[in-house]
Structure 1
Amino acid sequence: MAHPHSWVDLSVTLETDDQGRVTALRQVWRLDPFYSLVLLEEARAAEDGQDAALDRLGGDMLVNLAPRDFFTEAEVDGKALAFAAVSEATVMARDERVVLHFRLPLAEPQDLAGSTLEYRVFDPSYYVEVVHEADDEGPLAQALSVPDACQASIIVADPDPEKVMAAAQLDVDDSAPQGLGRFFAETGRVSC
């Protein structure tokens, strides 16, 4: 009954231009198996077919996530970055999971030489938990792909026990306090 209610496995690739500046965060979201099952059953039952239904789903996701910067916040050396509109996106079914691919461009390219970029992807309400692709030993190397001249790490969230308790006490119909999800967000860190 407590939050979260759905889960996303995340992979991020830093995209760079010919000058080595970061231009976008290319993201892949794999929705959890149960939510995927529900969405795929609806898509398969659609009169115009699964592919058309998934295209509509993708459009709905883009519309809903755009005002929240696709649940993404990023900064370079502590200075917040702005994003431009998503320029490419697709939704597909893969291995019985719904997968959203999209390119989230930065408003301005960022030179990371001697700098550190950090990002977090999270639902502010903590209705959806977003974590990097992982196995039993932790985040996978391919969960964060960066240019060769950079080093990447994923810092697992370590929320205050009070925040964990607050999330656990929320009923299925309760709204979480805005910003609760940030306390549970993993941080991708890239130093160049």
Structure 2
Amino acid sequence: MKLSAKGLPGLAVLTALTMPATAFAHPHVFAEARLEVETTSNGRISELRHVWRFDEVFSSSVMLDFDRNGDFVLDNAELASISEVVTDSLSDFDYYTSLTIDGANGSISLPDPIRVSFQDGQLLMFFAVLPKEPLPLDGTIAVGVFDPTMYAALEFMTDDDMVVTGASADRCTSRVVRPDPDEVIAQNQGSLTEAFFGDPTGNDLSKLFATRLELDCK
């Protein structure tokens, strides 16, 4: 994430998610994730739905930063402040979502702010991104989820956490791909090194590491 220039007091914890990849060699924030690729009856993808549940250490730090009245409860106004920050910040990183159609990059948009809640001591985020152009279920479609700064790890605990839903869910075959980081680095050493040191937050190579859901609609 990249901290919004507007700024709000007490954002030290969320600011950490904005730091460039050169600062960290491994993740420091962890979240259990779920992805639903929603389809329509006319054979298109309508939404990419995300749910992220963050680890208790990070969640507690967010509570301390945003609980302005000190009652250890995040009220609606405090949750709205978190929503504003993460919605603005994640836009610079396509909401940690990569979309490819037959190997070509697809574009997405966020129609509504990211919703946040605090349940059982953990911070949750809910949101859906939409393809900017109509996206028929045709060819090979891949949706990956990954933080390009490598500070946050979004973990899909089982393959059932990445699913195709909706009226045309059975039109394509699907599989979850979990790349081995060491293999990715070994196979792409030259291009990764050049891109990383040139602009660690602005390159398009993070999708190589992303756990992704691939749809084969041929």
Counterpart of 2:38 in structure 1 is 15
Shift of 1:152: 2.5
Q: Does the 8 Å CA contact 2:96/2:148 hold for their aligned counterparts?
A: yes
Q: 1:3 aligns to what SS in structure 2?
A: coil
Q: How does 1:77-96 map to 2 (within 5 A)?
A: 77-96=102-121
Query: Against the structure 1 CA distance between its residues 161 and 21, is the aligned structure 2 distance closer, same or farther, given a 3 Å change threshold?
Result: closer
Counterpart of 1:159 in structure 2 is 181
Q: Percent identity?
A: 26
Query: Against the structure 1 CA distance between its residues 94 and 150, is the aligned structure 2 distance closer, same or farther, given a 3 Å change threshold?
Result: farther
Counterpart of 1:170 in structure 2 is none
Query: Against the structure 1 CA distance between its residues 58 and 191, is the aligned structure 2 distance closer, same or farther, given a 3 Å change threshold?
Result: same
Counterpart of 2:160 in structure 1 is 141
What TM-score comes out, normalization by structure 1 length?
0.78
- Taking only aligned residues, the RMSD between alpha carbons, in angstroms, comes to 2.7
Alignment partner of 1:121 is 2:142: no
Q: 2:114 aligns to what SS in structure 1?
A: strand
Unaligned runs of 5+ in 2: 1-23, 187-198
Distance in 2, matches of 1:162 and 1:84, equals: 28
Distance in 2, matches of 1:36 and 1:145, equals: 29
Query: Against the structure 1 CA distance between its residues 151 and 41, is the aligned structure 2 distance closer, same or farther, given a 3 Å change threshold?
Result: farther
Q: Does the 8 Å CA contact 1:152/1:189 hold for their aligned counterparts?
A: yes
Distance in 2, matches of 1:80 and 1:162, equals: 19
Q: Does the 8 Å CA contact 2:147/2:154 hold for their aligned counterparts?
A: yes
Distance in 1, matches of 2:31 and 2:134, equals: 27
Counterpart of 2:47 in structure 1 is 24
Q: How does 1:168-179 map to 2 (within 5 A)?
A: 177-178=200-201
Query: Against the structure 1 CA distance between its residues 5 and 163, is the aligned structure 2 distance closer, same or farther, given a 3 Å change threshold?
Result: farther
Write the letter of the residue equivalent to 2:170.
Answer: D
Whose strand fraction is larger, Structure 1's or Structure 2's? Answer: 1
Query: Against the structure 1 CA distance between its residues 81 and 2, is the aligned structure 2 distance closer, same or farther, given a 3 Å change threshold?
Result: closer
Instruction: Give per-residue Cα distances to partners, 1:158-184, cap 9 Å, x unaligned.
Output: 1126949xxxxxxxxxxx944575453
Instruction: Give per-residue Cα distances to partners, 1:62-109, cap 9 Å, x unaligned.
Output: 000012211211111112111123335310112321111001011012
Select which of 181, 185, 189 maps to 2:214.
189
Write the letter of the residue equivalent to 1:32.
Answer: D
Write the letter of the residue equivalent to 1:142.
Answer: D
Counterpart of 1:100 in structure 2 is 125
Write the letter of the residue equivalent to 2:137.
Answer: L
Distance in 1, matches of 2:36 and 2:184, equals: 33
Query: Against the structure 1 CA distance between its residues 128 and 60, is the aligned structure 2 distance closer, same or farther, given a 3 Å change threshold?
Result: same
Q: 2:170 aligns to what SS in structure 1?
A: coil
Shift of 1:2: 4.0
What TM-score comes out, normalization by structure 2 length?
0.69
